[in-house]
Amino acid sequence: MSYPTPQPVLFEDVFSRPVHGIFDDTELSSDGGLVLLKALDCGLGLTERLGNLLPDERQATKVVHPYLDQFRQRVFCLAAGYADCNDAAKLAPDPVLKECCGREALEGHDLASQPTLSRFENIFPGRTFVALARKLEDIVIARHKKRLGSRARKIVIDLDPTDDSTHGQQAFSFFNTHYGGWCFLPLLGFLSFNDEPDHYLFLARLRPGKATARRGAFPVLRRIVRKLKAAFPRAQIHVRLDGGFAAPDTFEILEELGVEYVVGMGKNSKLKAFAEPSMERARGKQKRSGETERVYTSVRYRARSWNRSRRVVVKSEVTVLPDRDPRDNPRFVVTNMAGRAQDLYRFYGGRGDSENRIKEMKDLDLGRTSCESFLANQLRVLITATAYVLYQELRLRAKRTDLGRAQVRTLREQLVKIAARVVVSIRRIVLHFPSHSPWKETWRRIALASGAASP
């Protein structure tokens, strides 16, 4: 394929001699580090197993861009920081990206154009996304079963809705008064194991902007608990949910599933009355210390709509902010777990890390749901989820390096966004990275942990 002749620029008086700049080297890539994610993808079989679920009824002999290749193109472009189909089309000749998508780096066909990718996003029926979502669950569970096996003693499921602001005519975008704008409300699910700090994504489902927190959550819980019990029969399963999920049917289903749970609950007059004695103690402590103080207790409580009484953990807090009067801030959590109230509330507070994972996904453009079709936007959410699973696997392989707790943005900047010259011979492909790269030793250690060999 021929490309337009690049036009140089000249810096004549800036340096010790004239400097010409020209974008003309077709054997260079600005994202050479994508080979790390490609290696991890091959180990998981992630894009292959998901992409093969995309039904393709076209004549194979006339197909230049199989759906699997287009799916991979979108995943790896997103992982490299290119969210739009226009970006992907501009990168279609990139040699490293082509190799990641199964094309020969220098001689293979260019990757798909923007119109081709846009048609790809809008072609699949809803049942395809059900299959993709369930396969993603299976892949994530199988990965951690292989990693931990019988050493998994505690598994925590976190479900969290988040807002995805919309600014056009997207189907099922609605005004949400809680978030103060037009949006979708994706439901995201995470798993954490034992006392590990990371939360591993297993669910990314787009929902209309007026969806309740519980919409679609019960089938997910039934299915994921069943799969986890089959994969980790010795593990105790816990579920953490915020106050949007608090309802009688939520508690009944969780008890039916045989899991331990902590679920946030909103205030009401009865609970405030239960909390008042401990609030008095917290106010006294705050007056003596001048700082924010908390007192933890628990009570048995039964709302009218409940079929039985349940334990409610009470955090009686008086908060102190600069230049403001102390403020009462009682909080309540419903649970079926034994233990000290303070420990249970601290366990509930672990939900905060899943919220950090959501922020990471937004760094991977989770909110780039600008298609008019709801199903096309669901595909974009699943593509983001696939890229994020690869980054979580990368962080696992970086565990013994200084990037073991790095955010996705840092992993991308230091490990993926590395210029590389691609040299292809009959026997091998060589990527020449800059010898002065500041993260070259870390990159090499992670590459070895990701399956590379030291020649």
Q: What is the pLDDT averaged over residues 189-213? A: 94
To which H or E segment does residue 226 belong? Answer: helix 217-231
Query: CA-CA distance, 331 to 318, in Å (whole number)?
Result: 11
Q: Tell me: pLDDT of 194 over 70.
A: yes
Is there a single domain that holds both residue 128 and residue 197? yes
| Alpha carbons 214 and 239: distance in angstroms, whole number | 14
pLDDT value, residue 22: 78
Comparing C-alpha atoms, which of 150, 196, 221 is closest to residue 350? Answer: 196
Q: Clarify whether residues 397 and 298 are in a common domain.
A: no
The residue ranges of DSSP E strands in 327-453, in sequence order, are 327-328, 331-335, 420-424, 429-432
| Residue 196 maps to a domain | yes
Top pLDDT among 87 and 412 is at: 412
Q: Would you state the torsion angle of the CA atoms of residues 255, 258, 260, 264, taken in this order, to the nearest 10 degrees?
A: -30
User: What domain range includes position 441?
Assistant: 30-248+354-455
Is residue 420 within 8 Å of residue 431, measured between CB atoms? Answer: yes
Residue 136 is predicted with a pLDDT of 97
Residue type, 233: P
Same domain, 384 and 275: no
In the predicted model, is pLDDT for residue 337 greater than 70?
yes
**Token digits of residue 262:** 């902590």
- Residue in 375, 114, 336 with CA at minimum distance from that of residue 239: 336
Identify whether 14 is part of a domain: no
Provide the pLDDT for residue 12: 81
Cα-flanking dihedrals φ and ψ of residue 16, to 5°? -70, -20
pLDDT value for 25: 78
Report yes or no: 10 and 20 within 8 Å, Cβ to Cβ.
yes
List, in sequence order, every residue forming a beta bridge with 183; answer none if it has no partner. Answer: 165, 174
Domain count, the chain: 2
Does residue 47 fall inside a structural domain? yes
- Angstrom distance (rounded) from CA 253 to CA 258: 9
pLDDT of residue 252: 96
Does 1 have pLDDT greater than 60? no
Q: Which stretches of 162-214 are assigned E, i.e. beta strand? A: 164-165, 174-176, 181-184, 187-193, 200-205
pLDDT band, very low/low/confident/very high, at 2 (cuts 50, 70, 90): low
In a shared domain, residues 184 and 292 = no
Phi, psi (rounded to 5 degrees) for 410: -70, -45
The 10 Å CB-count burial string (b at 16+, else e) for 59-77 is eeeeeebbbbbbbbbbbbb
Q: Report CA Rg, the chain.
A: 26
Three-class secondary structure of residue 315 per DSSP: strand
Instruction: Round to whole Å and give the CA distance between 365 and 130.
Output: 22
Say what the pLDDT of residue 10 is. 81
* 215 and 94 within one domain: yes
Same domain, 221 and 110: yes
Beta bridge partners of 421: 28, 432
pTM metric for this prediction: 0.93
Domain-located, residue 232: yes
* Beta strands 187-193 and 310-319, pairing class: unpaired
Lookup result for tokens 């908060």: 319
Q: Do 95 and 180 sit in the same domain of this protein?
A: yes
pLDDT at 354: 85
Coil, helix or strand for 319?
strand
Residue 444: C-alpha distances to residues 255, 299, 369, 399 (Å): 48, 55, 35, 13
Are 320 and 363 found together in one domain? no
The verdict on residue 343 lying in a domain is no
How far, rounded to the nearest angstrom, does the alpha carbon of residue 224 sit from its chain's CA centroid?
Answer: 17
Q: Give the largest CA-CA distance in the chain.
A: 83
Q: Is residue 372 part of a domain?
A: yes
- Asked if residue 49 belongs to a domain, the reply is yes
Residue in 177, 187, 123 with CA at minimum distance from that of residue 375: 123
Q: Note whether residue 9 is domain-resident.
A: no
Contact 201, 224 (CB under 8 A): no
Q: What is the mean pLDDT of residues 378-390?
A: 97
Listed residues 295, 329, 363: the one ending a domain: 329
Euclidean distance between CA atoms 230 and 394, whole angstroms: 26
Q: CB–CB of 188/206 below 8 Å?
A: no
320 and 436 part of one domain: no
**432: Cα separation from own chain's centroid:** 31
Please check the confidence at residue 158 and state whether its pLDDT lies above 90: yes
Contacts of 290 (CB under 8 A, 6+ apart): 320
Residue 5: predicted pLDDT:
66
What pLDDT digit, counting tens, does each position of 241-299 carry? Answer: 999 999 999 999 999 999 999 999 999 999 999 999 999 999 999 999 999 999 999 99
- Same domain for 103 and 157, yes or no, is yes
Residues 149 and 193 in one domain: yes
Share of the chain above pLDDT 70, in %: 98
Report the pLDDT value the prediction gives residue 311, as an integer from 0 to 100. 96
Tell me: the pLDDT tens digits for 64-119? 999 999 999 999 999 999 988 888 878 999 999 999 998 998 888 899 999 999 99
Q: How far apart are CA 142 and CA 191, in angstroms?
A: 12
Same structural domain, 80 and 190: yes
CA–CA gap between residue 258 and residue 236 (Å, rounded)? 9
Residue type, 432: H
Question: What average pLDDT does the segment 319-325 reach?
Answer: 88
Mean pLDDT for the stretch of residues 155-170: 93
